[in-house]
């Protein structure tokens, strides 16, 4: 009810004003609208500028993250290289220049469990280029296993119901 009464009063008040007063009211409203439009335009411009700033900062942040990732990868690669060098100096890695008996002993140490000759062949095929060139790998390995058994570097155990030996460290 109040709203209807207020609208009626507004219309009534407008009807009582003179033409000059109405023109003055319209000019004031237009001026107010210009001010509001200018504020809105400034707000819109500032929001666009803020968005542009935000995009620039995001691009810079992405560049920094990419740089950090690249640095981390480089440092990780250097660390792996240093580990390999230390392992080579300490003799903890597979050395392709060592003797066949040393290679067999290293494979058994690295596995941490007894292995059959076929399992030793698989490991040597993956790690040793010269072993891959052998025509008959089981025959080629057999002579070296026999030498290692003879020198006491490894122990061969015969298991019931299975062909061949299970090789382990003494």
- Evaluate whether residue 12 is within a structural domain: no
Let me know whether 60 and 38 are in one domain: yes
Residue-range definition of the domain harbouring residue 135: 100-168
Q: Taking a C-beta distance cutoff of 8 angstroms, is the pair 154, 167 a contact?
A: yes
Identify which has the larger pLDDT, 70 or 20: 70
- How many domains are there within the chain? 2
47 — pLDDT class (breaks 50, 70, 90): confident
CA 138: distance to chain centroid? 41
pTM: 0.46
pLDDT digits (tens, 9 = 90+) for 57-100: 899 999 999 999 999 999 888 887 777 665 555 556 666 677 88
State how far the alpha carbon of 41 is from the alpha carbons of 14, 36, 44, 56, 143, in Å. 31, 8, 5, 22, 90
Let me know whether 45 and 70 are in one domain: yes
| 87, 115, 131 - which closes a domain | 87
- CATH code at position 104: 1.10.10.10
pLDDT of residue 84: 66
Let me know whether 83 and 104 are in one domain: no
């Amino acid at each position: 009810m109040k709203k209807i009464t207020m609208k009626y009063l507004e219309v009534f008040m407008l009807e009582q004003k003179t033409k000059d007063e109405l023109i003055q009211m319209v000019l004031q409203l237009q001026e107010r609208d210009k001010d509001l439009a200018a504020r809105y335009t400034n707000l819109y411009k500032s929001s666009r500028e803020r968005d542009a700033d935000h995009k620039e900062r995001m691009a810079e942040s992405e560049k920094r993250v990419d740089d950090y990732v690249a640095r981390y990868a480089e440092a990780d690669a250097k660390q792996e290289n240093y580990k390999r060098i230390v392992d080579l100096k300490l003799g903890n890695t597979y050395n392709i220049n060592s003797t066949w008996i040393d290679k067999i002993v290293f494979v058994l140490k690295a596995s941490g469990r007894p292995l059959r000759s076929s399992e030793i062949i698989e490991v040597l095929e993956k790690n040793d280029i010269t072993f891959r060139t052998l025509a008959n790998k089981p025959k080629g390995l057999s002579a070296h296993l026999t030498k290692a058994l003879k020198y006491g570097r490894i122990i061969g155990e015969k298991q019931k119901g299975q062909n061949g030996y299970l090789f382990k460290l003494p």
